[in-house]
């Protein structure tokens, strides 16, 4: 058996078509999987954090358990964990010195929180501690992937008392004025006296719990979660976030108005208490219904780039 070696062709013997239409060969590199942190290390770190922040977590747990307006706090850590699980893996670029610097800040925040008995500041140090550990383990690439999940944990923190008092009073005034006008539009002889609505012999008091502030926090948690999950444009997500306060106020006004009308129809104490609690529970479904309506309207108002009019696409291609 003989083996022949062909001589290379001279430029004159190469076909003109081959010269005119050269073949481009693209070599695709296979993606390199990002390294993963062992599960036992994550479990040990989570246990250490839980032990370090156990006093704060115990206070918040009692708040979630005893205050229905903050009961969503039980769901926040699970939603954040789900966001982490759904995030795509990324290459790690550890920044241990940057993480160590943030941990020094955490120590100072915890010291101030313990001195002032300020649990919300302690909660802020917890979030900063999580950011510090992420930077130390994976740097900025990992921080970009985990930042939404970590930031969402802010919704498990109850509002400070001073904030509830300073922000709740203006919301209570706005709810009283708006509910009085709406009752008058519906034909009720409603008169406002401070934070009291008078309807004939019915005296409907808008107390601190009726300001809607705590419901607004719960609704904000749901709205931000929806914005993180929505496959929409940035403009639509921004509109969803801007609609949190108006929708929460509207739901609270509807609750107060419906309660006032119901009070004019019955004088039974048990029925009145049931109606009051029922309408308070319906605030969140009403708010979520408004949120769904807003998303539906935005979907029909905002046109995606790939679904734009053909003439618009041609104009963009020519430009």
Q: Look at the block and give the residue holding tokens 């780039």.
A: 305
- pLDDT for residue 172: 86
Contact of 252 with 175, CB cutoff 8 Å: yes
Under DSSP, is residue 254 helix (H, G, I), strand (E, B) or coil? helix
Which residue has 């909660």 as its token pair? 123
Specify the pLDDT at position 308. 53
* Residue showing tokens 């104490």: 269
CA distance 293 to 243: 11
187: left (phi over 0), alpha (psi -120 to 50) or beta: left
So what's the pLDDT on residue 129? 92
Structure letter (DSSP) for residue 221: H
| 245 contacts: CB under 8 Å, gap ≥ 6 | 216
Please give the pLDDT value at position 293.
Answer: 92
Tell how many helices (H) and how many strands (E) occur in the chain.
13, 3
Beta strands (DSSP E) in 150-214 are 190-193, 196-199, 202-205
For residues 176 and 168, is the Cβ–Cβ distance under 8 A? no
Tokens of 203: 């005296």
**In angstroms, what CA-CA distances link 207 with 67, 168, 170, 197?**
16, 10, 12, 11
Query: pLDDT (tens digit, 0 to 9) for every residue of the chain, 319 residues total?
Result: 444 444 445 544 444 544 455 555 444 444 444 455 566 666 777 788 888 889 888 988 998 888 777 888 888 888 888 888 877 667 778 888 988 899 999 999 999 998 888 888 999 999 999 999 888 888 888 888 888 899 999 998 888 877 777 777 888 888 889 999 999 999 889 888 888 888 888 888 887 667 778 788 888 888 898 888 888 888 888 999 999 989 989 998 999 999 888 888 887 888 888 888 888 888 888 988 999 999 899 888 887 655 555 544 444 454 4
DSSP 3-state of 204: strand
At 230, give phi and psi (nearest 5°).
Answer: -70, 135
**Whole-angstrom Cα distance, residue 140 to residue 147?**
10
Contact 203, 196 (CB under 8 A): yes
- Alpha-carbon gap, residue 120 to 113, rounded angstroms: 8
Q: What is the pTM of this model?
A: 0.70
Kind and range of the H or E run holding 228: helix 213-229
Tokens of 97: 């010195």
DSSP conformation letters of 277-299: HHHHHTHHHHHHHHHHHHHHHHH
């Amino acid at each position: 058996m003989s083996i022949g070696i062909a001589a290379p062709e001279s430029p004159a013997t190469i076909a003109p078509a081959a010269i005119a239409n050269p073949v481009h060969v693209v070599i695709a590199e296979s993606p390199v999987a990002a390294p993963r942190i062992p599960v036992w290390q994550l479990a040990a770190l989570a246990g250490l954090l839980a032990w370090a922040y156990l006093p704060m977590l115990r206070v918040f747990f009692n708040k979630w358990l005893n205050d229905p307006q903050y009961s969503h706090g039980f769901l926040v850590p699970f939603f954040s964990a789900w966001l982490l699980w759904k995030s795509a893996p990324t290459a790690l670029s550890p920044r241990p010195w940057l993480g160590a610097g943030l941990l020094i800040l955490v120590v100072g925040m915890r010291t101030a929180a313990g001195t002032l008995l300020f649990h919300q500041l302690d909660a802020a140090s917890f979030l900063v501690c999580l950011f510090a550990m992420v930077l130390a383990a994976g740097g900025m690439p990992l921080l970009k992937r985990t930042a939404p999940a970590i930031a969402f944990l802010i919704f498990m923190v109850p509002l400070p008392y001073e904030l509830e008092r300073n922000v709740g009073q203006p919301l209570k005034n706005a709810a009283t004025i708006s509910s009085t006008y709406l009752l008058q539009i519906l034909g009720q002889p409603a008169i406002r006296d401070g934070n009291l609505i008078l309807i004939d012999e019915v005296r409907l008091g808008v107390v601190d719990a009726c300001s809607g502030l705590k419901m607004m926090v719960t609704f904000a948690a749901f709205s931000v979660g929806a914005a993180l999950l929505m496959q929409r444009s940035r403009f639509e997500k921004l509109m969803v976030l801007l609609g949190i306060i108006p929708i929460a106020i509207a739901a609270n006004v509807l609750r107060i108005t419906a309660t006032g009308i119901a009070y004019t129809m019955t004088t039974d104490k048990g029925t009145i208490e049931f109606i009051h609690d029922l309408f308070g529970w319906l605030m969140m479904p009403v708010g979520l219904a408004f949120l769904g309506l807003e998303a539906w309207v935005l979907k029909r108002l905002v046109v995606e780039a790939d679904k734009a009019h053909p003439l618009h696409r041609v104009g963009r291609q020519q430009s």
